[in-house]
Chain A
Amino acid sequence: MEPHVHNEKCREVFALLSEYLDLELPPDACQEIEAHIAGCAPCIEFADSLRKTVALCKRYEPGEPPSPLREEARVQLKKAYDRMLTERKQRS
């Protein structure tokens, strides 16, 4: 791909990339970005790295699990849940 003029447009695209990837941009802004990055190797590469970052975040799996709830905490939660159900029944 031929080198292109590195201008304000790259910066504008840079500022809107997440909204572009999330499909949250209006169609005209989206088309403008696509028209720019089609001819801009650095923007394509940068957008791809951001897309991969988002994909990695969405596949993130937390490491250490919490300690199991203590029995007394479970009993307390169950009592609160039962009270909640009783209140719901009384209201309906």
Chain B
Amino acid sequence: MPSEDHENEVELARRLLAGDALAFERFVEHFHAKIFHYSWMMCGDREDAEEVAQETLLNIFESSEQLREPEKVRSWVFRIAKNACLTKRRKSIFAPSRELSLDELMPVKHQDGDRVRIEIADWSVLPDGRALQGEMNVLLERAIRELPEIYRSVILMRDIEEISTAETAEILDVSQDTIKTRLHRARLAVRQAIDKYLRGESKGQATIHGTTCAQ
């Protein structure tokens, strides 16, 4: 999400607090979609996500701890959404979260005599621009959904919503170091999913190649 979007949100929050009725409509529309997508990724159920989005919006206006700093509107909204998701998940049965180890996320290595071969797809088929983004969105969504919950919440807040490390730590009630560790592992897992996709499904566009180094 570009920072321009964040600036618009801050302005929207200022106008909302000033009593601007049009800002209220836009605020509801904007955050309804955002909270819904976050909740859907976290809860895994569309109906639950619809409920969480609605409950969160209501809590935003009814909460005794109201928004004081419009600059922090995004993290404030997501703190309320996170709590609503937790409540929803407590009511349902879900698998316990598991830790991702660095070892399982390292690139696959093959011994080749006294050398180690690292397998990696040809990532040059993914330009930095917007090409392939539609196809990648589907892949990203699947990869993020498959992450254990403690990593999923962090990558959604840090990389999708672009909430700072400090604010994410505050929202999720863990240390900044924990956020950094979880974010790194989440990114590595998503990277691994894309790498597998590029090697296995983009025949003709992506080719497998290895880089080698002596052990």
Contact = CB atoms under 8 A, between A and B. Distances in A.
B61 A80 contact: yes
A41 B187 contact: no
A78 B23 CA distance: 12
A60 to B, nearest CB: 5
B81 interface: no
B50 A67 contact: yes
Nearest to A5: B214
Contacts of B128: 52, 55
Interface in B67-113: 102, 106-107
A54 B159 contact: yes
Interface string A46-69: 101110111111111111111101
A42 B165 CA distance: 28
Interface string B106-127: 1100000001101011010010
Contacts, number: 134
Interface residues of B, number: 57
A60 B66 CA distance: 30
A60 B115 CA distance: 38
Interface of B is mostly: helix
A76 B160 CA distance: 30
Nearest to B64: A87
Interface string A17-40: 111001010000000000000001
Given A15-B184, A66-B53, A73-B54, A60 B160 contact: yes
Given A57-B159, A57-B187, A52 B123 contact: yes
B183 A74 contact: no
Contacts of B190: 53, 57
- The residue in A41, A60, A78, A83 that gathers the most chain B C-beta atoms within 10 A of its C-beta is A60
A57 B1 CA distance: 9
A54 B130 CA distance: 13
Instruction: Give 5 nearest A-B pairs by CB, closest first.
Output: A66-B36, A80-B61, A18-B184, A57-B159, A62-B37
Interface of A: 3-6, 11, 14-15, 17-19, 22, 24, 40-42, 45-46, 48-50, 52-67, 69, 73-74, 76-78, 80-81, 83-85, 87-88
Given A56-B194, A69-B28, 5 more contacts: A18-B180, A53-B191, A56-B136, A60-B136, A62-B141
